[in-house]
């Protein structure tokens, strides 16, 4: 097969990077992408790496990825991402799992997406299934059939305890190629509690002015350690207002109570791994 493979978003630390939780999406998806390309090449496929590391905005990253993809004549475009929004910082014994996005619910991309979900499910993840998304540029503007893999959730401890890039890449490759691959992969390593920090979140906004306004109000009300963190979800840049980061979860819980006492309701704690 001829394949385009790319990791979504800019690298971590740059504008338009991916979500951050117990792992960083833009690092994790590049790890999976690199392992996936190695496996596919070992299986005698032609693979083009269409990852973009120099986008100036979320839309610029997408446009550059699409341009790279459309420069090649391939059977399939594959976009590697991680999901976000489980907020299961301690682990509840259940994974939130995998889903794969496609432009239409038929054809070669859909068929590969179904197989990829099943292969990742076999690793122990919940299968959230294949979902249709007609609004994403990486799916609607590429010439070849395209799919977007949301490998698992960066903010679910059960997901990340189970995760390693090589087993994830192998599962995706088996789904793409529709065959089993003989490849040994290392066991996953659970997240050490010593590496987990807890952030008090006081809102996420897709308008940076609103986020800055919230931060200014928190600063004025005497909350220390407030900062913004930008990440991209569904090709939209979001700005998360972090009202403190703590090693001890009890301190993060107290900060949420203090926020509520000042009228900032709806706060929550998110786990973060440095």
Taking only the tens of pLDDT, the chain with its 274 residues reads 999 999 999 999 999 999 999 999 999 999 999 999 999 999 999 999 999 999 999 999 999 999 999 999 999 999 999 999 999 988 999 999 999 999 999 999 999 999 999 999 999 999 999 999 999 999 999 999 999 999 999 999 999 999 999 999 999 999 999 999 999 998 888 888 888 999 999 999 999 999 999 999 999 999 999 999 999 999 999 999 999 999 999 999 999 999 999 999 999 999 988 7
Neighbours of 114 (CB within 10 A): 18
Q: Give ∠ CA 100-67-154 in degrees, rounded to 5.
A: 35
Q: What is the pLDDT of residue 219?
A: 97
Taking the CA atoms of 148, 154, 158 and 161 in sequence, report the sign of the dihedral they define. Answer: positive
Q: What is the pLDDT of residue 209?
A: 98
Q: What is the pLDDT of residues 160-192, one digit of tens each?
A: 999 999 999 999 999 999 999 999 998 888 888
Q: What is the pLDDT of residue 49?
A: 98
Parse the chain into domains and list their residue ranges: 2-177, 193-273
Q: Domain spanning 2-177: which CATH class is it, in words?
A: alpha beta
> Using CA atoms, how far apart are residues 33 and 172, in angstroms rounded to an integer?
10
Q: What is the pLDDT of residue 189?
A: 86
The architecture (CATH level 2) of 193-273 comes to 2-Layer Sandwich (3.30)
Phi, psi of 253 (to 5 degrees): -65, -40
Beta bridge partners of 204: 240
Pairing of β 98-102 and β 127-132: parallel
Q: Which of 79, 98, 56 is nearest to 142 (CA)?
A: 79
pTM beyond 0.75: the answer is yes
């Amino acid at each position: 097969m001829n394949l385009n493979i790319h990791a979504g978003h800019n690298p971590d630390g740059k504008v338009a990077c991916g979500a951050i939780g117990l792992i960083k999406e833009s690092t994790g998806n590049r790890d999976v992408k690199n392992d996936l390309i190695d496996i596919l090449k070992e299986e005698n496929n032609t693979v083009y790496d269409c990852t973009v590391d120099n986008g100036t905005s979320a839309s610029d990253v997408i446009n550059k990825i699409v341009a790279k993809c459309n420069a090649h004549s391939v059977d399939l475009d594959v976009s590697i991402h991680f999901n976000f929004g489980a907020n299961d910082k301690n682990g509840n014994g259940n994974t939130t799992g995998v889903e794969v996005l496609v432009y239409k619910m038929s054809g070669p991309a859909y068929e590969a997406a179904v197989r990829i979900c099943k292969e990742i499910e076999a690793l122990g993840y919940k299968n959230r299934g294949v979902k249709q998304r007609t609004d994403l540029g990486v799916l609607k503007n590429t010439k070849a059939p395209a799919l977007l893999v949301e490998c698992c959730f960066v903010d679910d401890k059960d997901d990340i305890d189970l995760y390693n890039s090589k087993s994830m890449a192998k599962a995706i490759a088996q789904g793409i190629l529709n065959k089993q691959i003989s490849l040994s992969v290392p066991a996953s390593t659970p997240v050490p509690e010593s590496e987990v920090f807890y952030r008090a979140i006081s809102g996420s906004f897709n308008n940076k002015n609103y986020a800055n306004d919230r931060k200014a109000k928190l600063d004025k009300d005497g909350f220390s350690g407030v900062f913004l963190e930008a990440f991209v979800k569904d090709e939209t840049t979001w700005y998360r207002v972090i009202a403190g980061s703590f090693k001890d979860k009890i301190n993060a819980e107290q900060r949420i109570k203090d926020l509520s006492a000042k009228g900032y309701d709806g706060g929550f704690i998110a786990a973060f791994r440095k």
